[in-house]
């Protein structure tokens, strides 16, 4: 249908389908039907809701956390690899920097300890962020669907956290 009614076909056939539809009886019938359906029936009143959201903040938080719990169990291979990777990195950094925190004689010892902590946190952050990208790509559609139900800034942060963790 899109190929037949495209602008190239309209130019080729020398016809404007939009104008043809606006001049048709179907257009007039649809406009009349829309105007009739827009008027409320006699004796009816507008819908009224107490709040904008159907559930409380706590209920939304519990629902988001439960959804994330199910997501972890459904993707057990990713969760197992995260736990394994964390243990391996902890053992690696533990052996590399063993005894580094006990040295406190010089200012350079303090700088070495702080630099090693910075490198460890940076390495783990980059490693985890690259590992979570395929998971985020799958959960992005769910996040966009559920973003409208978030009630305030804290709830949005929880929705973000549960969608991306």
How remote is the C-alpha of 101 from its chain's centroid?
A: 40
Q: What's the predicted TM-score (pTM) here?
A: 0.45
Q: What are the structural domain ranges in the chain?
A: 7-38, 57-164
Question: pLDDT digits over 48-103, tens only?
Answer: 777 777 778 888 888 888 888 887 788 888 888 888 888 988 898 888 878 776 77
Structural contact between residues 120 and 93, judged by C-beta atoms closer than 8 angstroms: yes
Q: How many CA atoms lie within 13 A of 157 on its CB side?
A: 3
């Amino acid at each position: 249908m899109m190929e037949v009614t495209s602008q190239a076909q309209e130019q080729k056939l020398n016809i404007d389908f939009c104008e043809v539809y606006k001049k048709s009886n179907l257009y007039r019938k649809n406009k009349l039907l829309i105007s009739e359906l827009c008027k409320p029936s006699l004796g009816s009143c507008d819908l009224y809701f107490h709040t904008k959201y159907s559930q409380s903040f706590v209920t939304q938080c519990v629902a988001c956390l439960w959804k994330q719990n199910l997501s972890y169990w459904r993707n057990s291979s990713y969760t197992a690899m995260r736990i394994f990777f964390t243990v391996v990195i902890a053992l690696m950094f533990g052996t590399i920097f063993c005894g580094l925190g006990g040295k406190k004689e010089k200012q350079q010892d303090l700088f070495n300890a702080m630099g090693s902590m910075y490198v460890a946190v940076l390495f783990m952050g980059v490693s985890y962020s690259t590992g979570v990208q395929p998971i985020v790509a799958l959960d992005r559609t769910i996040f966009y669907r559920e973003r409208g139900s978030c009630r305030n800034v804290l709830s949005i942060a929880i929705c973000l956290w549960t969608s991306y963790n």
